[in-house]
């Protein structure tokens, strides 16, 4: 799979896919999309990069171990649920704040934090599975 | 954008208006603690030096949350919390009654004991593979399965604990582990998929997945709905998870392959989740169907007990022998479920608690024995009595306990179960319980005779290996084993408080309306979740 | 419509059970994957099949304006798909590893954990 065309295109394709995955993640708040599908797109980007350049460049590129990213996502998702202890509402209740940034009203909420957590969990676990499979192929 | 203000909607029909007291958070506290600390461990996986401290802190916090929950439920009755402010049956409910809280408490104890034992048993490589994060996630999954009040959510927790258990099972990826893990993974996945299939039909028939809601609607659907099919499917799926007789083959094929602390926690926790699910399904949800299936369950129970103990007799490998003892114990719990009387249920729950503690302790004991003997097989074992008499004392106590002999915790549940069987005239069930006890005694007595009393055949093994007792057993391993042992002695010598708790659990299980009333408080108009008929 | 779905689901179950009866682990894996899809279809059919619009509430409204499809089975199926996908990925790695280590994909020959000629326990000293 290490043809010249593929190796030239792969970096751009991967970065585009990462960008698109973040778009899908944020869009998922009100429209179809969300953390799971976003994480899957990002993980496929890593898989493509891995097919083109091998596994170790991918590991260098994402800096952290994929499972550590998964753990970070799980942590974010749990914290998003725990936050509702402060206003005294049940676990996982959605909380909203509307800060104004540069005159634009932003709707920030704990479901968004939870969704970002899901994004990282999916991205981390699928990437580590994909990398494990790609690694074995060259043995 | 603020929804609550701009729309004229009465949200009190769908959402919790009264804010729950802070104490209700105890229902979700154990699993939230487990997830947070599991995530922290996952993030610091490479830092094998500091990770155990994070993990032990987490396990301790989980245990504290479990104790708090148990105490809260013990004093105030069933505690209910619905996720995300939605009223049941719309939101996912967590409902801790005495049964769930007690089993969660034992899970917390075992988790902490396992975490301490693993300080020595799991090497740095094992930690790097992620022993502690998977342990915490598995414990969260098990606890959540005990506490959830939603049947689809129960399926999700089964899968969570299953995937965490896969991670623990292949820790180290040795040949034997890969083989065991493959069988374990496939058969357990098929079992949970069958459970999901039954959930699909429950949803089709009831239009709801909340257990309390199903329980109160079951009576009206009973005549028309295919409830019998659903319950038979659930029995099949959970009997496979619990390793009841014809579906038990995955357990002795896999439980001896991982590290011994992992085997111990699996034996203590995972099959008991299946038993818990059976109790919940057949008593809280579908009581009438249990009466129909009681005869079948009783036969399965008797066969599981006796054949499990016979399997133990036929094993040369000590760890696989313990696997068969786990199966035999499952039979005793199923016997209580089949009897269905208050005494029988009390005995079954007490047996579950006893079995969780003693089975884990037995694996921990075997871990210490093997550390000294370096062999797993009875044919080569020996010489422990002269090198470690204290271990012989601990072992003898545990062996008596698992056989159901006084003065240890195994005696009382068996006494209750035998009494309950004789009450209904099921003398053959009582006979099976006693016979399995006898066979178990023979099996473990043989382990004791060979590995402790017999002198190690020095000529056979070479002189150098036997002489200095290999590195004195670490305090962490012996300590957690002794702690579990003290529990079984305490329950054996002074069973009244525990039996009072299990009697209360049996009474709660016999009266599912109390569970329903805790989720749907009387007075509030029950909301309907009618499905549009096609 | 339900009849057609029931037949399709039955077909899925038949295929998956046939595959799972094989001795070869990779076929069992495919059988398990199809089994989970069969169960997903069952959930979907059990939620009653309707020809309504997706259950999305238009902007500025608090309730859906017309009859909508039942969103709950979709949520259940989605959850089940996610879980099945995760398990499939894990099992694929596991099967591949055990094929590499054990050198066989025949379950009859995978006797590493349960040696075929294990001796009986000693019957006396």
Q: Which among A65, A87, A92 is the nearest to B83, CB-wise?
A: A92
Say how far apart CA C110 and CA C117 lie, in whole Å.
Answer: 13
Distance from CA of B23 to the nearest CA of C (A): 30
Do C89 and A129 lie within an 8 Å CB cutoff? yes
Say how far apart CA B307 and CA B436 lie, in whole Å.
Answer: 8
ipTM of the complex: 0.93
How far from chain centre, in Å, is Cα C64? 33
Choice among B230-239, B278-287, C51-60 with the minimum mean pLDDT: C51-60
Q: For residue B166, how many C-alpha atoms fall within 13 Å in the half-sphere facing its CB?
A: 23
Chain C environment of A132 (Cβ under 8 Å): 93
Chains near B, with 3+ CB pairs < 8 A?
A, C
Do C118 and B317 lie within an 8 Å CB cutoff? yes
Average pLDDT, chain B: 86
Return the pLDDT at A1. 65
Say how far apart CA B23 and CA B72 lie, in whole Å.
Answer: 8
Examine the pLDDT at B11 and tell me if it is beyond 80.
no
This prediction has a pTM of 0.91
* Tokens matching residue B68: 């708090």
Say how far apart CA B260 and CA B266 lie, in whole Å.
Answer: 10
Examine the pLDDT at B457 and tell me if it is beyond 70.
no
**Are the CB atoms for B111 and B132 separated by under 8 Å?**
no
Say how far apart CA A133 and CA B145 lie, in whole Å.
Answer: 32
Q: Per-residue pLDDT averaged across A89-102, rounded?
A: 80
- Asked if B25 is an interface residue toward chain A (Cβ–Cβ < 8 A), one would say yes
- Asked if B50 is an interface residue toward chain A (Cβ–Cβ < 8 A), one would say no
List all residues of chain C from 64 to 123 with a beta carbon under 8 Å from chain A: 82, 86, 89-90, 92-93, 96-97, 100
Return the pLDDT at B388. 81
Do B189 and C91 lie within an 8 Å CB cutoff? yes
Do A126 and C82 lie within an 8 Å CB cutoff? no
Give CA separation, A88 vs B19, B213, C71, in Å.
6, 26, 29
Q: Which among A78, A88, A93 is the nearest to B36, CB-wise?
A: A78
- Asked if B1 is an interface residue toward chain A (Cβ–Cβ < 8 A), one would say yes
Return the pLDDT at B529. 47
Return the pLDDT at B1. 38
Examine the pLDDT at B430 and tell me if it is beyond 90.
yes
Nearest to B38 by CA among B47, B51, B25, B26: B51
In sequence order, which residues have a C-beta less than 8 Å from that of residue B140 and are 6 or more positions away? B30, B31, B34, B35, B38, B62, B160
Q: What is the DSSP letter of B451?
A: I
Do C96 and A36 lie within an 8 Å CB cutoff? no
**Are the CB atoms for B529 and B213 separated by under 8 Å?**
yes
Do B179 and C2 lie within an 8 Å CB cutoff? no
Chains near A, with 3+ CB pairs < 8 A?
B, C
Say how far apart CA B146 and CA B417 lie, in whole Å.
Answer: 23
Beta bridge partners of B150: B210
Do B2 and A72 lie within an 8 Å CB cutoff? no
- Asked if B92 is an interface residue toward chain C (Cβ–Cβ < 8 A), one would say no
Band the pLDDT of A137: cuts 50, 70, 90. Answer: low
- Asked if B346 is an interface residue toward chain C (Cβ–Cβ < 8 A), one would say no
Do A133 and C97 lie within an 8 Å CB cutoff? no
> Of all residues in chain C, what percent carry a pLDDT higher than 90?
36
Digit-coded pLDDT (tens) for B56-107 = 999 999 999 999 999 999 998 888 888 877 888 888 889 999 999 999 999 9
Label each residue of B101-160 as H, E or C.
HHHHHHHHHHHHHHHHHHHHHCCHHHHHHCHHHHHHHHHHHHHHHHHECEHHHHHHHHHH
Examine the pLDDT at B4 and tell me if it is beyond 60.
no
Choice among A71-75, B15-19, B527-531, C110-114 with the minimum mean pLDDT: B527-531
In sequence order, which residues have a C-beta less than 8 Å from that of residue A123 and are 6 or more positions away? A21, A39, A42, A43, A46, A66, A69, A70, A73
Give CA separation, B111 vs B48, B118, B360, in Å.
19, 10, 10
Digit-coded pLDDT (tens) for B324-347 = 999 999 999 999 999 988 999 999
Chain B environment of C122 (Cβ under 8 Å): 316, 378-379, 450
Do C121 and B378 lie within an 8 Å CB cutoff? yes
Examine the pLDDT at B465 and tell me if it is beyond 60.
no
**C109 to chain B: closest CA residue:** B179
Q: Which among B39, B45, B83 is the nearest to A74, CB-wise?
A: B39
Nearest to B515 by CA among B209, B97, B202: B97
Q: Which among B1, B28, B43 is the nearest to A72, CB-wise?
A: B43
Nearest to A117 by CA among A74, A69, A67: A74
> Among positive and negative, which fits the CA dihedral C58, C61, C62, C66?
negative
> Of all residues in chain B, what percent carry a pLDDT higher than 90?
45
How far from chain centre, in Å, is Cα B491? 18
Do B156 and C97 lie within an 8 Å CB cutoff? no
Q: Structural domains in chain C?
A: 2-50+70-109 (1.10.287.3510)
Examine the pLDDT at B5 and tell me if it is beyond 70.
no
Distance from CA of A129 to the nearest CA of C (A): 7
Q: Which among B19, B36, B83 is the nearest to A75, CB-wise?
A: B36
**Are the CB atoms for B339 and B297 separated by under 8 Å?**
no
Q: Which among B183, B200, B257 is the nearest to C43, CB-wise?
A: B200
Distance from CA of A36 to the nearest CA of C (A): 9
Digit-coded pLDDT (tens) for B366-400 = 988 888 887 788 788 777 788 888 888 889 999 99
**Are the CB atoms for B368 and B477 separated by under 8 Å?**
yes
Task: State the count of interchain CB pairs (< 8 A) between A and C.
Answer: 15
Return the pLDDT at A22. 93
In sequence order, which residues have a C-beta less than 8 Å from that of residue B425 and are 6 or more positions away? none
Say how far apart CA B196 and CA B193 lie, in whole Å.
Answer: 5
Digit-coded pLDDT (tens) for A43-61 = 999 999 988 888 888 888 8
List all residues of chain C from 64 to 83 with a beta carbon under 8 Å from chain B: 70, 72-73, 76, 79-80, 83
In sequence order, which residues have a C-beta less than 8 Å from that of residue B28 and are 6 or more positions away? A81, A91, B81, B94, B147
Mutate to test the interface with B, among A63, A78, A82, A84 (most CBs of B within 10 A): A78
- Asked if B226 is an interface residue toward chain C (Cβ–Cβ < 8 A), one would say no
In sequence order, which residues have a C-beta less than 8 Å from that of residue A51 and are 6 or more positions away? A1, A6, A10, A134
Do C86 and A132 lie within an 8 Å CB cutoff? no
The three-state secondary structure class of A100 is strand
Choice among B8-17, B307-316, B381-390 with the minimum mean pLDDT: B8-17
Nearest to B281 by CA among B339, B215, B352, B341: B215
Return the pLDDT at B159. 93
Chain B environment of C46 (Cβ under 8 Å): 200-201, 203-204
């Amino acid at each position: 799979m290490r043809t010249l065309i593929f190796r030239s295109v792969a970096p751009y394709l991967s970065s585009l896919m990462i960008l698109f995955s973040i778009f899908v993640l944020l869009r998922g708040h009100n429209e179809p999309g969300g953390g799971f599908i976003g994480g899957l797109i990002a993980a496929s980007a890593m898989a493509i990069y891995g097919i083109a350049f091998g596994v170790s460049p991918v590991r260098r590129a994402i800096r952290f171990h994929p499972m550590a990213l998964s753990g970070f996502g799980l942590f974010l998702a749990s914290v998003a649920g725990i936050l509702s202890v402060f206003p005294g509402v049940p676990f996982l209740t959605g909380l909203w704040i509307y800060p104004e940034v540069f005159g634009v009203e932003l709707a920030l909420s704990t479901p968004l934090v939870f969704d970002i957590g899901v994004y990282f969990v999916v991205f981390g676990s699928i990437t580590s599975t994909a990398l494990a499979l790609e690694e074995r192929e060259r043995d | 954008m603020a929804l609550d203000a701009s729309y004229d909607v009465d949200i009190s029909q769908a959402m919790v208006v009264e804010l729950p007291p802070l104490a209700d958070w105890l229902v979700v506290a154990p699993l939230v603690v487990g997830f947070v600390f599991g995530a922290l461990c996952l993030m610091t996986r490479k830092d094998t030096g500091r990770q155990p401290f994070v993990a032990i802190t987490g396990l301790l916090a989980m245990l504290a949350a479990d104790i708090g929950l148990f105490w809260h439920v013990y004093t105030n009755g069933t505690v209910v919390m619905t996720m995300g402010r939605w009223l049941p049956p719309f939101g996912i409910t967590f409902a801790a009654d005495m049964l769930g809280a007690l089993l969660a408490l034992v899970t917390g104890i075992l988790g902490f004991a396992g975490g301490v034992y693993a300080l020595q048993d799991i090497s740095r490589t094992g930690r790097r593979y992620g022993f502690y994060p998977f342990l915490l996630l598995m414990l969260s999954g098990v606890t959540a399965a005990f506490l959830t009040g939603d049947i689809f959510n129960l399926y999700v927790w089964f899968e969570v604990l299953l995937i965490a258990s896969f991670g623990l099972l292949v820790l180290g990826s040795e040949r034997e582990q890969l083989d065991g893990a493959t069988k374990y993974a496939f058969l357990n996945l098929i079992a949970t998929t069958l459970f999901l299939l039954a959930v699909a039909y429950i949803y089709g028939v009831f239009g709801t997945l909340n257990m309390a809601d199903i329980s109160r609607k079951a009576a009206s659907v009973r005549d028309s709905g295919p409830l019998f099919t659903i319950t038979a499917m659930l029995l099949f799926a959970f009997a496979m998870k619990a390793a009841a007789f014809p579906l038990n083959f995955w357990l002795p094929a896999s439980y001896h392959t991982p590290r011994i602390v992992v085997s111990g926690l699996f034996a203590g926790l995972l099959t008991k989740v299946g038993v818990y699910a059976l109790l919940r399904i057949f008593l809280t949800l579908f009581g009438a169907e249990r009466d129909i299936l009681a005869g079948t369950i009783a036969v399965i129970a008797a066969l599981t007990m006796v054949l499990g103990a016979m399997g133990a007799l036929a094993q040369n490998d000590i760890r696989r022998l313990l696997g068969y003892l786990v199966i035999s114990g499952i039979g005793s719990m199923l016997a209580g479920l089949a009897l269905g009387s208050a005494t029988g249920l009390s005995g079954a729950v007490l047996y579950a608690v006893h079995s969780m503690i003693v089975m884990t302790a037995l694996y921990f004991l075997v871990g210490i024995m093997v550390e000294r003997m370096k062999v797993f097989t009875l044919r080569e074992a020996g010489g422990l009595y002269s090198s470690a008499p204290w271990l012989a004392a601990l072992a003898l106590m545990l062996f008596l306990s698992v056989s159901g002999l006084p003065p240890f915790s195994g005696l009382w549940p068996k006494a209750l179960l035998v009494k309950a069987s004789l009450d209904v005239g099921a003398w053959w069930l009582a006979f099976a319980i006693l016979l399995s006890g006898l066979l178990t005694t023979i099996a473990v007595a043989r382990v004791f005779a060979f590995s402790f009393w017999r002198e190690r055949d020095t000529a056979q093994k070479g002189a150098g290996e036997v002489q200095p007792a290999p590195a004195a057993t670490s305090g962490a391993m012996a300590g957690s084993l002794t702690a579990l042992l003290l529990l079984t002695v305490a329950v054996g010598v002074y069973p009244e408080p525990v039996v009072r708790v299990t009697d209360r659990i049996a009474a709660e299980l016999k009266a599912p309306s109390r569970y329903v009333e805790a989720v749907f408080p009387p007075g509030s108009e029950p909301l309907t979740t009618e499905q549009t008929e096609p | 419509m339900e009849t057609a779905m029931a037949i399709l689901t039955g077909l899925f179950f038949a295929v998956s059970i046939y595959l799972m009866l094989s001795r070869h682990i990779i076929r069992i894996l495919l059988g398990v994957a199809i089994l989970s899809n069969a169960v997903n279809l069952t959930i979907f059919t059990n939620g009653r099949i309707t020809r309504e619009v997706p259950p999305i509430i238009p902007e500025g409204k608090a309730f859906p304006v017309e009859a909508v499809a039942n969103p709950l089975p979709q949520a259940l199926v989605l959850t089940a798909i996610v879980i099945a996908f995760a398990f499939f990925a894990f099992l694929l790695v596991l099967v591949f590893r055990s094929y590499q280590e054990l050198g066989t994909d025949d379950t009859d020959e995978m006797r590493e954990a349960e040696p075929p000629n294990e001796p009986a326990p000693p019957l006396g000293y």
